[in-house]
Amino acid sequence: MAPKTDLIIVESPTKARTIQKYAGPDFRIMASVGHIKDLPKSKMGVNTSDRFQPEYKIIRGKHKVVSELKKAAEKSRFVYLAPDPDREGEAIAWHIAEELKLPPEKAKRVLFNEITNRGIRQGLSSPVALNRNKFESQQARRILDRLVGYEVSPLLWRKIQRGLSAGRVQSVALRLIVEREREIRKFKPQEYWNLFCELSGSSPPPFRAKLFSVDGRKKKITDGESAEAIRSELETGHFVISDVEKKRKRRAAPPPFITSKLQQEAARRYRFSAKRTMRVAQQLYEGVEIGNEGAAGLITYMRTDSTRLADDAVKAAREYILQKFSKTHLPDKANVFTSKKKTVQDAHEAIRPTSTEYPPEKINKYLKPDQRKIYRLIWERFIACQMKAAQYDHTTFKIKAGENERLELRAQGRILAFSGWLAATGEDDTRNNGEEAGSTVLPPLEKGEKPALSGKGAQTEQKFTQPPPRFTEGTLIKELEDKGIGRPSTYASIVTTIQDRRYMEKTEGKLVPTELGILVSDRLVSFFPDLFDVTFTAQMESSLDRVEEGSEDWVALLSRFYSPFHKQVESAMVNMEEIKPSEPVEGEFCEKCKAPMVIRWGRHGKFLSCSNYPKCRHTRPMESDKKLSAEASEAIAGIKCEKCGRSMVLKHGRFGEFLACTGYPECKNTRPVPTGIKCPRPECNGELIERRTKKGRTFYGCSNYSETGCDFALWNKPVKEPCPDCRAEFLVRTGRAGKTKLSCANEDCKYSRDE
């Protein structure tokens, strides 16, 4: 009789194929394809009167998988349970062991931090017992979310609209988005003016200095008249350098990636959603076919909040740096990173490449475009984290000017003196004699020298204070992380869930709450002030961590939470105001059949609908919506719908702003937002409008494209402002958010300025 082989069960078929390559013929590898059991969909599935015992059911479609796993387990000597090394993976392993009725001596939990020969051998050689604390922590989180979802969602169905739902953590994230939107809406821009002088001294190049203080005090110039008076004073031409400060500053190497920072950097660099980033990272972790070598796991486990690195990984990185760069880039001792956060789970390493034998340039041809981008980010950050700090020479000129030298201007420059870790990331352009890209190069002037006006001389620049920016996925994840909300495994699902529920939309990468999202958030915060409070949610995350550590009982945690929560639900059922579509709106009647109008909800909020629906399908906007739309559409006032003659208003959709008919949903006509800028082609009378490629990329093209075939197009957004140098009719905006420039659209003109 042939000896029994050992069975390894993972959750992913891809992971199974990669492990089979390393494990050899003595092991059979099978995949559970994720969770095999969960709470039922048709009911709560939690007995709140009996210690919150869950009622797990085999997930529909998984019975065949479970049957095959049972048969394989019976023929195996040992069963190695190897789902991902986190709470969710522990729950999968626990449920498999239960369903397969594995005795403790046969079931062995193994943790693969990387899917490589070394990682597989290490895991199999040191199996551990199933971790009850980690499983109970996951179970407590699952039950908490089920209690909130199954008790709050029916409340929303009854009071607002059927089909709505609420999540314990997602609703807190929605609250942050809504509160930020309110800050933006109530923000009132304040005018201020900047003053600059273009100066030249005894040595080139010319440089630009900015007004810093007046009469020894920093002063904000708030009107054009005052700005012009100071500009005139500067035009007298009296300037003297009162001080020259030179400092060498260091920019330390960044730590290796944790989950949240990888998501944020991918969002910043490539505008990847958190979900997209994690999907690609999972592929790199589970294994990619590398030519004749077969499948190879390229990165370590990607759900982690630890910056710890294995000693052998640090050694490999230092050897690579010495070979690829130079000894001057390598610190005497390895860089070590620690986290200030108490919630860090240090079981896993930071996200890093599994081997320095796979630099991006060697394996790019085997990777898909998204995989290349994410792998390069991880590779560069890993190598950079073990390099020396970058060094800059900072120079500041303090310049006295004006009558009795009462004005002070300052000019600042920064030169990259030593690239350090920047050599690994290419973040700064170290060419051009070491000049940092975008920096100001100051001439070698000394204290007491008297530079003179040059170029455009003294200039004023009108500016307005800006509201706080809307969240992007990356900045929202950073906010959640900073406030202790969510964990590495949940950030992506939090953002995705809010969007799937249509409580918020993405507009040019920014997260904008829908009217429905604002209404739901306001109601939840009003009736559940603790549950959807940021601090309370962060404390709950800490409690779940303590369950995992074994210092808190999961049943006691749920008991402490549920009693006051259930009372709040009962109170809200009685006291929350109900939006009833069946109730007529006072004074509002259908223009077609004279029946009372009622409130209904659509994707973009509430509208008035005839109570005779579906016999009469007449609709019109709410009066409050008309007011808001009018305010938002002031710049496009007078534009009429070409189909029904009603006014068009500004709306926010999945792909940004657009014009929509106020007759929606009766009239669903939409139109791109006009820029107010005429097409520069002399023979064309069209205007530039926002358009999209088949792949969804935004560009700006002529409105006459479909009529006359005018193919004028720009990738950068046009701004209706004439060029001060060549008088071209518009400028274009370039760069990323927070670092944008306005440049002339005329290729022969070199005008450009920071926005």
In the block, residue with structure tokens 């890993």: 382
CA distance 266 to 84: 23
β-strands 107-109, 76-81 pairing: parallel
In this structure, are strands 57-58 and 37-38 parallel, antiparallel, or unpaired? antiparallel
Using CA atoms, how far residue 150 sits from 157, 361, 384, in Å, is 11, 50, 47
Inter-residue contact 201 to 453 (CB < 8 Å): no
Long-range contacts of 691-694 (CB under 8 A, 24+ apart): 692/655
Cβ proximity of 514 and 615 under 8 Å: no
CA nearest neighbour of 640 among 663, 611, 613: 663
SS3 14: helix
DSSP state of 449: -
Q: Round to whole Å and give the CA distance between 58 and 95.
A: 10
- Helix, coil or strand: residue 4: coil
Q: What phi and psi values does residue 730 have, to the nearest 5 degrees?
A: -155, 160
Residue 407 CB contacts under 8 Å (≥ 6 apart), including other chains:
211, 213, 214, 230, 233, 234, 400, 401
Question: What is the distance in angstroms between the CA of the first residue and the CA of the last residue of the chain?
Answer: 78
Q: Which residues contact 587 (CB under 8 A, 6 or more apart)?
A: none
* Cα dist from 375 to 283, 399, 742, whole Å: 10, 48, 33
22 part of the active site:
no
Backbone angles phi, psi at 332, to 5 degrees: -60, -40
Backbone angles phi, psi at 743, to 5 degrees: -130, 160
Distances, alpha carbon 355 to alpha carbons 286, 334, 592, 626, in Å: 14, 18, 72, 60
Write out the two tokens for 304: 């982690």
Query: What is the secondary structure of 474-490 as a DSSP string?
Result: HHHHHHHHHTT-S-TTT
Catalytic residue among 56, 80, 285, 301: 301
Both tokens assigned to 227: 């700005």
- Output the DSSP codes for 569-637: HHHHHHHSPP--TTSEEEEEE-TTT-PEEEEEEETTEEEEEETTTTT---EEE-HHHHHHHHHHTGGGT
Q: CA 675 to CA 455: how far, in whole Å?
A: 32
Three-class DSSP category at 211: strand
User: Do 120 and 295 touch, CB atoms closer than 8 A?
Assistant: no
Query: Any idea which residue has 């749920």 for tokens?
Result: 558
Q: Which two tokens stand for residue 426?
A: 């290419």
Sheet holding 5-10, edge to edge: 27-31, 5-10, 76-81, 107-109
Contacts of 369 (CB under 8 A, 6+ apart): none
Q: Report, as residue numbers or ranges, the catalytic residues.
A: 301
